[in-house]
Chain A
Amino acid sequence: DTGVSQDPRHKITKRGQNVTFRCDPISEHNRLYWYRQTLGQGPEFLTYFQNEAQLEKSRLLSDRFSAERPKGSFSTLEIQRTEQGDSAMYLCASSLGGGRVSYEQYFGPGTRLTVT
């Protein structure tokens, strides 16, 4: 068990550029979650996948955001036309889950995005 990994750890980009983040979950976990955390706040849910299916998206996830999990393994989160308000820590988590009960989520170290 190597844990959840995220790449890159830090990303600085200019406003208007596109960025893509990658998350590799714990291998046997079928659920994968994306959260966003701004300074001094708790993480906010963005979206989640069960296997390759994206089952829920938050209203926070504007049309500029898209997430994929093509083979039910790793996931990518893309932000198009970045804005300064997108500056945040983007956290990925994975868990086992099914039916009504979900098990605890294991978090990656996060990708810190700075939009200048």
Chain B
Amino acid sequence: AQSVTQLDSQVPVFEEAPVELRCNYSSSVSVYLFWYVQYPNQGLQLLLKYLSGSTLVKGINGFEAEFNKSQTSFHLRKPSVHISDTAEYFCAVSGDNQGGKLIFGQGTELSVKP
């Protein structure tokens, strides 16, 4: 069985500061990892994905994440956040032969303050 743990439920940060949102996963099969963002009353938008290859993945809006197999982590980072980055962020995992279904973490609420 697969699972995802997002270690912080809320992350407050000041504008232009760096941020890291932490995600750990467990899986018995090869994994594909994703970060999604959800703005209030909207669906989820894909930020970035790791399928294979380079462990450093760059996404939209200046976000990046690093896949660390030994630590089973996929932390999301941004060097300088904006007010508009305030949203809920979800880490998700999918595995080989799983039909593509996503297992999500509980989410991290990023709050960017001026």
The interface of chain A, by Cβ under 8 A from chain B, is 4, 31, 33, 35, 40-45, 48, 50, 55-56, 91, 93, 95, 97, 100-110, 112
Complex Cα gap A42–B37 (Å): 11
Q: Who on chain A is nearest to B4 by CB?
A: A42
In the complex, which of the residues B4, B32, B45, B100 contacts A107, with contact meaning CB atoms closer than 8 Å?
Answer: B45
Residues in A whose Cβ lies below 8 Å from that of B97: 100
* Closest Cβ–Cβ distance, residue B5 to chain A (whole Å): 11
Interface size on B, residues (CB 8 A): 27
Given known pairs A43-B90, A45-B101, the reply for A101 and B44 (CB within 8 Å) is no
Among A43, A50, A108, A109, point to the contact of B102 (Cβ < 8 A): A43
Are B104 and A43 interface neighbours, CB within 8 A? yes
Complex formed: what's the CA distance from A45 to B99 in Å?
A: 11
Most buried by A among B42, B94, B99: B99
User: What would 23 A/B residue contacts be, using CB atoms closer than 8 Å?
Assistant: A31-B100, A41-B106, A41-B107, A42-B104, A42-B105, A42-B106, A43-B44, A43-B102, A44-B104, A45-B102, A56-B99, A56-B101, A91-B44, A95-B100, A97-B100, A100-B97, A102-B99, A105-B102, A106-B46, A107-B36, A108-B43, A109-B42, A110-B43
The answer to whether B49 and A104 have CB atoms under 8 Å apart is yes
Give me the interface of B with A, judged by CB distance under 8 Å.
4, 32, 34, 36, 41-46, 49, 51, 90, 92, 94, 96-107
Sort A-B residue pairs by CB-CB distance and give the 8 closest, nearest first: A102-B100, A42-B104, A107-B43, A107-B44, A109-B43, A45-B101, A97-B100, A43-B104
State whether A33 touches B100 (Cβ < 8 A): yes
**Interface pair B106/A105, CB less than 8 Å apart:** no
Q: Does B107 lie within 8 Å of A42, measured CB to CB?
A: yes
By the criterion CB–CB under 8 Å, are A50 and B99 in contact?
yes
